[in-house]
Amino acid sequence: MASLTRIYKILLGLTELFFGIPFLGGIIIFSNLWAPLGGLFLLHLVGLVLAIVGGKAKWGHVFGMAGNVLAIIPGVGMILHILIGIVIFAQGLRNT
């Protein structure tokens, strides 16, 4: 379970960083009517369950869920995606 949680956090962190790319991430999110934010919220919810079951750090996924709700605001969303991506990716690398 630990390796699954680690890989999940690394991939989710990279996904968040992708959506934090200026203009590109925004274009994808706007063109899909903010649906990717809902998808990322659900992915963080799954990650939170995996973290609870595996006894790993949960705060990165909670930050991700809150951040994706606030990411509806353009500009703020880009910054939040970058911050969430760094946090989740770092947790995945550290296996916490």
Per-residue pLDDT of the chain in tens (96 residues, 90 and over written 9): 788 999 999 999 999 999 999 999 999 999 999 999 999 999 999 999 999 999 999 999 999 999 999 999 989 999 999 999 999 999 999 988
Domain ranges of the chain: 2-94
3-state SS class at 33: coil
Of the candidates 3, 11, 20, the one whose C-alpha atom is nearest the C-alpha of residue 82 is 20
Q: How many CA atoms lie within 13 A of 59 on its CB side?
A: 4
Of the candidates 70, 96, 90, the one whose C-alpha atom is nearest the C-alpha of residue 81 is 70
Packing angle of the helix pair 35-54, 2-19 (nearest 10 deg): 160
